[in-house]
Structure 1
Amino acid sequence: MSASVAALKSHAVIVGAGPVGAVAALLLARHGIRVTLLERNSALVSASRASTFHPSTLDLLRSLGIDLAGHRAATTVTSLQWRNRDGEVLAELDYRLLIGLTSHPFRIHLDQQVLLDRLAELIADEPGVDLVCDTEVIALDAARAVVTAVSADGLRQTLKGDVIVGCDGSHSLIRQQAGLQLSVLPYPTVALRAYVETNLSALLPGSAPRPLSNLCYFRGGGDGVSVLRMGNVTRLIVRSSAHRADERRVAEAVAKATPWSLDSIAVQRIDSYRLGRGVVDSYLSDLGPVLVIGDAAHVTSTSGGMNMNSGIHDAFALMPALAGRLRGGADLLGVAHIAEERRRYMLHDVIPRTERVVRGLQDLAGPSLVTDLHGLAPLIANRAAHRNFLIEASLLDAPLAGLESITK
């Protein structure tokens, strides 16, 4: 149970009430820190289409009283499949190999807004968190740990904290004004995402094994399509050199890599988004008591659904240590060590993992996209390699404060 508000002497100002900022606020409050959580929108709303929650993240969120796996709209993924254009299964990795390492030996696909709605409920019941919406931060004085914010009605105010936590997205003003550098290297491809309601499993050839996994990677004809099921909608994700929603490119990839044609699939709409990767040079500012986490600290390819999950892990890794520092029971070096461990993990482990499932598709090779299924055969034949792939894909080796990994 949280300490009484009167007993909360240290004060943290968190900028950005997305999933990472809201989780960070709850963690700090439950560790005895008073929190002001600033959000420029009128409520906790998501513009992101992030939808993947990994086993490690589901475990962590449950510790806050959030059970996403039990939500009626959650789509459970019990295996990862790779198939060829005839529908033949090239490899299938079974999440049941994670039993004993996690309470959730599966991943789920669920709209990020569901998490935000639950976080809003918890924050409303948490006396240690003051959520201030319709308020945009326009300046930071890192040395004094002061932010200047403007409300929707034009009222300007300054807020001082013992620490400022930037959770304000990939274009983070807090990061920029704290003197932290994030260089994002763009991939030469963009992602095209087609939304369909057609039951694709029913359209598999009669010789193709069923069922179709709720996450399946089709490869064939030098091309690839990722098929992600979410509720009643399936997303077909294709890499393209064109920076626009291009139905012709989606049709080409579907024809080359899958047993279907776009003519037989009812496409609702197609959108596109740029892809890039990068990690901040430091989570902690040298100018004052300021740190950044989540999208403000790292950008990854959307492959594997790593970035939001990693941001939530940032909060779980750093907020308990930060609370200890603010209460005087821990030194700054401990926080800095955890922050650097997280930074290195993102740079050297997470980003390469986001690239491996789309190797040959993420980058252009010559005039066309190519398919690379390197490494699948050993995964099929070797149970230990199979299990380790799923551990890494599930972020179950993620470093947390005071622990070597989530699994220990």
Structure 2
Amino acid sequence: MTELWPTSFSTDGIPPSLDRMHWHTATAAPVSRDRPIAVIGAGPVGMTAAAALAAADLPVVLVELTPSPRPDWRASTFHAATLELLETIGITGQMHAEGLVVPTYQFRDRRDGLVAEFDFGLLADETRFPYRLQLNQQHLVRMLADRLAGDDRVRMRFGTRLTGLEIEPDGVRLAVDGPDGADEIRAAYAIGADGPRSTVRSALGVAFDGFTYPERFAITSTPVDLQELVPDLGHVNYVADPEEWLFILRTPESWRVVWPVPASYSADEASDPERLQHRLQGVAPYEPGYPVIDHQVYGVHQRVASAFRVGPVLLAGDAAHINSPIGGVGLNSGIHDAMDAVRRLARIAAGDGVDVEAELSEYDRIRRTVAVEYVQADTQRNTDRLRETDDAVRRRNQEEMRAIATDPERARVYIRRVSLLESVRRFGIGTPPIEREEAR
């Protein structure tokens, strides 16, 4: 990592201002209005982090490149473990008022129809949220932005670009450029939640290893009720097919269909209205023609940062790990990152002999372990299952999913994992290092 001040980023070396043997350590920098906790990125992960910090009565400065909260439709699923965490900052009531509760989901085959249905109700004795809540992520961002706009503990700096980052012995110095020109922010700690092309991660010189799928994914949203056209369709459906698998789900605004876009297609070809209509008619014939209210094409990756923490800077969400959307856990695990980071920073800010290095190192270890062992492993397996081309393997996959769904105990174990309850119960969220050691 190189000293990054004020405008350029590199991945060579470490900050010359820090001793090479101690660049990864952090002292208990006091948190104050003059030295707040900086959150870079105001998507759902960054906004959650800012709201949780404010709820812990800590000063926050939120830096976001876009001039207003992001209107991104991409992620739309909130799992039980995530709703439990969001309940602690008092936002789940509004989310439920606007969202759609989905108690089951289906694994289907495009040729053979329904293969297995899984019921989140099996978790009713373990969580108050035995279901998926479907709500497009921009609504959570909007809700939290509206709340934080009236909170004097939070400074929201939209339309502001991070142009430099330097780790100092007593915190972090950020160079920013916004509506009022160039400026600097001095922070005690920082959370980089600025997405897969993270400027923070690049500034820290952290590798982002993994791979990119050869195909891109398309998300197309239509107001047409697909359940009227396919009567046994669930609200959430994973549809296997060797040529064109599908992920079909309902949100409060629309039905959304995700499918692969061949690598040979140009951006214009992938978004051609006639081509989109052909794809939607392939899901279910609809004579009037499908109106399309949103369409996105994007690259898909399986990547994990080599470190989730450098000194007093933590990486969270897509800045730390990105994955296939099949399973709906990317957004959720990012929110778990944010809540874990905030709980540790709140203890550090409170003082009382907290081991800062142990806390931040535990964040790095735990959140990276979850990303690799759960998020990456499960989303890769889910995606491979949907696009399997070997007919014998496809049949074995069907048999396995049926066997799991019809065995209540196996189904409970399966649902517990896909809802992220297993990883949270196993590793905790922000559990103090001493408690983790005692539990081993």
- TM-score interval (norm. to shorter): 0.7 to 0.9
Please, what TM-score do these two structures have when normalized by structure 1?
A: 0.85
Separation of aligned partners in 2, 1:22 and 1:60: 14
Q: Which residues in structure 2 correspond to 1:8-407 (within 5 Å)?
A: 11-67=36-92, 71-85=96-110, 88-143=113-168, 145-153=172-180, 155-204=181-230, 210-219=231-240, 223-242=244-263, 243=265, 244=267, 245=270, 251=278, 255=282, 260-261=284-285, 266-268=290-292, 270-285=295-310, 288-329=311-352, 330-331=354-355, 332-362=357-387, 372-373=397-398, 375-397=400-422, 398=424, 399=427, 400-402=429-431
For 1:324, the aligned partner's letter is R
Contact 1:75-1:230 within 8 A present in 2 as well? yes
**1:183 counterpart SS class:** strand
For 2:175, the aligned partner's letter is T
Shift, 1:66, TM fit: 0.4
For 2:193, the aligned partner's letter is C
**2:177 counterpart SS class:** strand
Shift, 1:314, TM fit: 0.5
For 2:408, the aligned partner's letter is R
Report which stretch shifted further, 171-180 or 327-336: 327-336
Contact 1:184-1:299 within 8 A present in 2 as well? no
**2:168 counterpart SS class:** coil
Separation of aligned partners in 2, 1:293 and 1:66: 20
Separation of aligned partners in 2, 1:143 and 1:171: 24
Separation of aligned partners in 2, 1:312 and 1:235: 23
Contact 1:224-1:253 within 8 A present in 2 as well? no
Unaligned runs of 5+ in 1: 1-5, 205-209
Shift, 1:228, TM fit: 0.8
Report which stretch shifted further, 276-285 or 381-390: 381-390
Report which stretch shifted further, 349-358 or 292-301: 349-358
Per residue, is there more helix in 1 or in 2? 2
For 1:278, the aligned partner's letter is R
Separation of aligned partners in 2, 1:276 and 1:7: 38
Residue in 1 aligned with 2:16? Answer: none
Contact 2:35-2:186 within 8 A present in 1 as well? no
Contact 2:79-2:332 within 8 A present in 1 as well? yes
Separation of aligned partners in 2, 1:195 and 1:179: 38
Residue in 1 aligned with 2:22? Answer: none
Contact 2:175-2:184 within 8 A present in 1 as well? yes
Shift, 1:187, TM fit: 1.5
**1:45 counterpart SS class:** coil
Contact 1:225-1:254 within 8 A present in 2 as well? no
Contact 1:277-1:301 within 8 A present in 2 as well? yes
Distance 1:159 1:54, change over 3 A: same
Unaligned runs of 5+ in 2: 1-30
Distance 1:8 1:240, change over 3 A: closer
Contact 2:107-2:116 within 8 A present in 1 as well? yes
Distance 1:30 1:123, change over 3 A: same
Distance 1:222 1:166, change over 3 A: closer
Shift, 1:192, TM fit: 2.4
Separation of aligned partners in 2, 1:133 and 1:50: 22
Separation of aligned partners in 2, 1:290 and 1:85: 46
Distance 1:374 1:11, change over 3 A: farther
Shift, 1:165, TM fit: 1.6
For 1:240, the aligned partner's letter is V
Separation of aligned partners in 2, 1:112 and 1:127: 25
**1:113 counterpart SS class:** helix
Separation of aligned partners in 2, 1:43 and 1:347: 33
**2:125 counterpart SS class:** coil
Residue in 2 aligned with 1:3? Answer: none
Residue in 2 aligned with 1:207? Answer: none
> What is the count of residue pairs matched by the alignment?
387
Separation of aligned partners in 1, 2:276 and 2:312: 48
Instruction: Encode CA deviations 1:277-311: one digit per residue, 9 max, x unaligned.
Output: 111111111xx421111111110111112111111
Distance 1:274 1:374, change over 3 A: farther
Residue identity over aligned pairs, in percent, reads 27
Distance 1:112 1:297, change over 3 A: same
Separation of aligned partners in 2, 1:187 and 1:92: 28
